Structure 1
Amino acid sequence: MNVPVSPAETLRASLAGLLDGLPPRQAAQAVERLIANYRGATPTDAPILRDRADVAAYAAYRMPATFEAVSAALAAFADAVPGWVPGSHVDVGGGTGAATWAVSATWDGPREVTVLDWAEPALALGREIAAANPALSGVRWQRSRIGAALTIESTDLVTVSYVLNELTEADRAALVDAAASAAQAVVIVEAGTPAGYARVIEARDRLIAAGFHIAAPCPHSAACPIVPGEDWCHFSARVSRSSLHRQVKGGSLAYEDEKFAYVAATRLPVTPAPARVVRRPQIRKGQVLLDLCEADEHLRRTTVTKRHGDLYKAARDAEWGDSWPPAE
């Protein structure tokens, strides 16, 4: 009996093969240099990923985390728009295509897919990796400047993951506006830092102004109740660590948690979560503390105890980022 292999496992296997013949120390040094530079003040016309060795090392290190974060955001979006399946997808700044893998893992069926990125080596490697996934056989890998001059063809879904930090404020605004003009749905993922959250909120405001409804993570399309500078909204995705991860991080754990912030918005009718768990649930003796963003535009802590019966059992199983209460 053949056991189906998940897209995540297929991706990890493909990425492991990229490092064959590349000395581990060289791969680790490339990742360390790229981490230091890639999210910095690099002009958008000067890609950091210079050659295949750079891209292979960075992809092996970052693609699994990007895949898991985008998959989590897409799953929340799919819950809010049940029954909808994108027939086309444009991944802006998609590099080696982690978001395209996440979209294919979220929704079955064929679709037209285009990955836009400035770095030709990233696109070439993305095409190579995608050969392991039949759902990505027809993807177009297109070199394009990501910024004010960007043109996005009409599509059902646009994803933008870990890209906004590389752009100027004007280019970020232009990209979000272009996505809103082209797509029925836009999903944006950034690093789960205060600065990443600020960029997500900036994009969220522009999408709402363009007539979009927020599908996730927010249970409403009103202003975010978090006071700027006092806190930030972010979530966590569990990522299996490769040997390269352990070497670069100097750790021994088989996993790490990717912190990310996101917004998923659409012109379609939405049924957002009644409330969203916005911090890791705290399990105490006989009770669970849940920090929730609620539909009335407030943040509240809710205590669920054994007296709540089945709801208490659900609270013990609840995870950071889940809808609350759980669907029956």
Structure 2
Amino acid sequence: MTAPAPPAETLRTTLAKLLAGLPPKQASQAVDRLIANYRGTTPTDTPILRDRADVAAYAAYRMPATFEAVHAALEALAEATPDWTPTSHTDIGGGTGAATWAVTATWPGDRPVTVLDWSEPALALGREIATANPALRDADWRRARIGEDLTLPAAADLVTVSYVLNELTPADRTALVDTASASAQTVVIVEAGTPAGYARVLEARDRLIAAGFRVAAPCPHSAACPIAPGEDWCHFSARVSRSSLHRQVKGGSLPYEDEKFSYVAATRLPATPAPARVIRRPQIRKGQVLLDLCEPDEQLTRRTVTKRHGDLYKAARDATWGDPWPLS
């Protein structure tokens, strides 16, 4: 029997088939508007994804990148909680469901899945795409306004919130985090890897800790972030394969792009955070590797690992941005 394709590959194939007939000009126009909303201030009284063309353009432009960013965050969470597998999942503001695909890529198997979003066209397309993923065929796609009046249909082991906080007012952001923390054992929040995105993640992190959660990733501790506000920001990078349509829509020639993202994974369950986290791309020089680390003593440290460190030097040469340190 042929093994099923990994979720990432299945998602790319499904999107390519679904979007094969989408006129590139129409897609490009919709993407231009979506980029403006993604990078700027978005009104919260109407959904960003208004119709089928918007949703198709979003799927081509954002869904693969969202999948890779959320998957990277979930893999870091899984490393910190190796004995835990979520038995249920709610995705708040899930749109076309990229985070649900990322969960199935991290923890294979069936579980109750609920996707909440206020865009009916996004939910419809997400439901359509999900038929290609056996773990999502029974998912519940529900329309809901994401804000102060949000109520979750049931408690969930895992709640994900990806690229949603930017679309909300401060009051709605606070309400969403409080709703998630009251309903979940574990909460994962992913935002754009910009100073503003990091600030929203940091705000949510503080609120989750105040609600009794501990940080599982990326931080090696649940104390205050040692990064001075306004001087730098914590973010990571995920490599995203571009489809031919993706390259047409975005006008790029490379077969890949790097998605910058910020995130926090917090839990009420036992967790073992990384001893330290590589928070910048390692600098490999002749005979040495420079690692910028966030460490458990609430300090940012640059460590130089040289050949005389033996196996540690080999590990440092293999380390990538976002990895725990030392490598397992």
* TM-score, length-scaled by structure 2: 0.97
Give the Cα separation in 2 of the matches to 1:156 and 1:6.
Answer: 23
1:289 touches 1:304 (CA, 8 Å); kept in 2? yes
**Structure 1 residue 55 displacement after superposition:** 0.3
Give matches, 1:65-214, under 5 Å. 65-152=65-152, 153-214=154-215
Residue in structure 1 matched with residue 48 of structure 2 by the alignment: 48
1:114 touches 1:142 (CA, 8 Å); kept in 2? yes
Give matches, 1:17-32, under 5 Å. 17-32=17-32
Give the Cα separation in 1 of the matches to 2:2 and 2:306.
Answer: 43
**Structure 1 residue 60 displacement after superposition:** 1.5
Give the Cα separation in 2 of the matches to 1:181 and 1:3.
Answer: 39
Any idea what SS the aligned residue of 1:230 has? coil
Q: Deviations over 1:20-63 (max 9, x none)?
A: 22212221221112211355433323112111121011111110
Give matches, 1:52-63, under 5 Å. 52-63=52-63
Give the Cα separation in 2 of the matches to 1:201 and 1:244.
Answer: 35
2:261 is the counterpart of 1:280: no
Give the Cα separation in 1 of the matches to 2:5 and 2:267.
Answer: 31
2:27 touches 2:249 (CA, 8 Å); kept in 1? no
1:151 touches 1:178 (CA, 8 Å); kept in 2? yes
* TM-score, length-scaled by structure 1: 0.97
Which region of structure 1 is more displaced relative to structure 2, 283-292 or 24-33?
24-33
Residue in structure 2 matched with residue 256 of structure 1 by the alignment: 257
2:216 is the counterpart of 1:215: yes
Q: Deviations over 1:111-141 (max 9, x none)?
A: 1100000000000000000000001011000
2:191 touches 2:197 (CA, 8 Å); kept in 1? yes
Any idea what SS the aligned residue of 1:129 has? helix
Structure 2: which amino acid aligns with 1:91? Answer: D
Provide structure 1 residue ranges, at least 5 long, that are not aligned to the other structure: none
Any idea what SS the aligned residue of 1:165 has? helix
Give the Cα separation in 2 of the matches to 1:45 and 1:127.
Answer: 24
Which region of structure 1 is more displaced relative to structure 2, 273-282 or 22-31?
22-31
Give the Cα separation in 2 of the matches to 1:168 and 1:190.
Answer: 15
Which region of structure 1 is more displaced relative to structure 2, 43-52 or 266-275?
43-52
2:237 is the counterpart of 1:245: no
1:237 touches 1:258 (CA, 8 Å); kept in 2? yes
Give the Cα separation in 1 of the matches to 2:311 and 2:210.
Answer: 40
Structure 2: which amino acid aligns with 1:84? Answer: W
**Structure 1 residue 259 displacement after superposition:** 0.1
Q: Deviations over 1:234-281 (max 9, x none)?
A: 000000012233234332111000000000000011100000000000
**Structure 1 residue 3 displacement after superposition:** 5.5
2:315 is the counterpart of 1:314: yes
Q: Deviations over 1:93-112 (max 9, x none)?
A: 00000000000111122111
Any idea what SS the aligned residue of 1:115 has? strand
Aligned residues: 327
Provide structure 2 residue ranges, at least 5 long, that are not aligned to the other structure: none
2:227 is the counterpart of 1:226: yes
Structure 2: which amino acid aligns with 1:263? Answer: V
1:44 touches 1:146 (CA, 8 Å); kept in 2? no
Which region of structure 1 is more displaced relative to structure 2, 103-112 or 183-192?
103-112
Residue in structure 2 matched with residue 9 of structure 1 by the alignment: 9
Give the Cα separation in 2 of the matches to 1:100 and 1:3.
Answer: 21
Q: Deviations over 1:167-203 (max 9, x none)?
A: 0001000000000000000000000000000000000
Q: Percent identity?
A: 80
Which region of structure 1 is more displaced relative to structure 2, 303-312 or 1-10?
1-10
Structure 2: which amino acid aligns with 1:52? Answer: R
Q: Deviations over 1:192-235 (max 9, x none)?
A: 00000000000000000000000000000000000000000000
Structure 1: which amino acid aligns with 2:117? Answer: D
2:320 is the counterpart of 1:324: no
1:241 touches 1:256 (CA, 8 Å); kept in 2? yes
Give the Cα separation in 2 of the matches to 1:43 and 1:149.
Answer: 17
**Structure 1 residue 13 displacement after superposition:** 0.8
Q: Deviations over 1:54-91 (max 9, x none)?
A: 10111111100000000000000011011101100100
Question: Structure 1's 124 and 157: CA in aligned 2 closer, same or farther, altered over 3 A?
Answer: same
**Structure 1 residue 4 displacement after superposition:** 4.2
